[in-house]
C-alpha cells in the first residue's frame, strides 16, 4: 500500500490490462498412460463481481481452458505448475487435432490431456460447485478475459451493462449503439 501507480498508457488500456483474480479449476486424475496422479487445468472461474459484470458472465462464472490457454501459458511458470502436479502448457498433437494445439499434458510423462475430455469432465460438475475444484488463485489481465468472453461480447469491449470504463465503445459499437 502507499504505492501510487501512474498509468503511462491511455486510461482505457490501463483498465483493460488491470489484473483480475481468477481461480484455476483443476481436474485430478490418474494418467491414462503412466497411471500416476496428475492434475489438468480445465479453465478458470472469475470470482470478482466487477469483472464478472464486465465480462457479461453473471453467475455463469466459468471460462474454459481453450479460451484462456494463451493467457495461462504466458502467466504460469512451468516449475510452479509442476509443484501443483500440472504439466507445462504447450502445443501438443492429438489424433483428433494432428496440427497440434495449446494443451495440458501429464506432468510425469507429458502425454496430451485433451481439451475435449476436460470440458466433458467439467460438464459433470454442477456449476455452483466449480469453486470447490479451484486449486490456486492467480491474476490474469482483464483484456485476456475479455478476449475469452468475446464470443458473447463481440470483439474487444466489455459487456453492455458494464460501466467500468474498460470499454472504449468503438470496437463493438453495433451492439452498444443507443
- Least separation in angstroms between CB 116 and Zn ion: 18
- Least separation in angstroms between CB 120 and Zn ion: 19
Q: Which is nearer to Zn ion, 144 or 166 (CB)?
A: 166
What is the number of helices (H) and of strands (E) in the chain? 8, 7
Identify residues 59-98 at the interface with Zn ion (CB under 5 A): none
34 touches Zn ion (CB under 5 A)? yes
- Least separation in angstroms between CB 106 and Zn ion: 3
Among 14, 101, 108, 135, binds Zn ion (CB under 5 A): 108
Region from 21-29, 30-38, 67-75, 121-129 binding Zn ion, contact rule CB under 5 A: 30-38
Strand ranges (E), 31-114: 37-46, 62-64, 90-92, 101-105, 112-113
Q: Which is nearer to Zn ion, 12 or 134 (CB)?
A: 12
Q: How far, in Å, are 102, 146, 163 from residue 88 at the CA level?
A: 10, 24, 37
Contacts of residue 157, Cβ cutoff 8 Å, sequence gap at least 6: 146, 166, 167, 168, 169, 170, 171, 172, 176
- Least separation in angstroms between CB 171 and Zn ion: 13
Q: Which is nearer to Zn ion, 25 or 158 (CB)?
A: 158
Long-range contacts of 151-156 (CB under 8 A, 24+ apart): 152/56, 153/55, 153/56
Instruction: Give the side-chain half-sphere CA count within 13 A for 24.
Output: 23
- Least separation in angstroms between CB 85 and Zn ion: 11
**Contact string 145-164 vs Zn ion (x = CB under 5 A):** -------------x---x-x
H or E element at residue 18: none
Q: Give the interface with Zn ion as residue ranges (CB under 5 A).
A: 31, 33-34, 54, 106, 108-109, 158, 162, 164, 166
Amino acid at each position: 500500500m502507499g504505492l501510487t501507480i501512474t498509468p503511462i498508457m491511455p486510461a482505457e488500456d490501463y483498465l483493460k490490462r488491470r489484473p483480475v483474480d481468477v481461480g484455476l479449476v483443476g481436474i485430478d486424475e490418474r494418467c491414462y498412460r503412466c497411471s500416476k496422479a496428475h492434475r489438468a487445468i480445465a479453465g478458470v472461474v472469475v470470482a470478482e463481481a466487477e469483472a464478472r459484470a464486465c465480462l457479461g458472465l453473471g453467475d455463469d462464472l466459468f471460462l474454459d481452458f481453450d479460451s484462456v490457454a494463451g493467457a495461462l501459458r504466458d502467466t504460469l511458470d512451468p516449475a510452479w505448475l509442476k509443484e501443483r502436479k500440472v504439466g507445462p502448457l504447450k502445443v501438443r498433437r492429438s489424433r483428433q487435432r494432428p496440427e497440434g494445439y495449446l494443451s495440458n499434458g501429464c506432468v510425469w510423462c507429458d502425454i496430451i490431456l485433451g481439451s475435449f475430455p476436460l470440458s466433458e469432465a467439467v460438464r459433470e460438475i454442477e456449476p455452483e460447485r466449480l469453486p470447490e475444484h479451484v486449486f490456486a488463485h492467480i491474476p490474469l489481465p482483464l483484456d485476456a478475459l475479455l478476449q475469452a468472453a468475446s464470443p458473447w461480447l463481440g470483439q474487444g469491449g466489455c459487456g453492455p451493462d458494464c460501466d467500468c470504463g474498460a470499454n472504449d465503445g468503438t470496437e463493438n459499437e453495433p451492439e452498444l449503439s443507443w
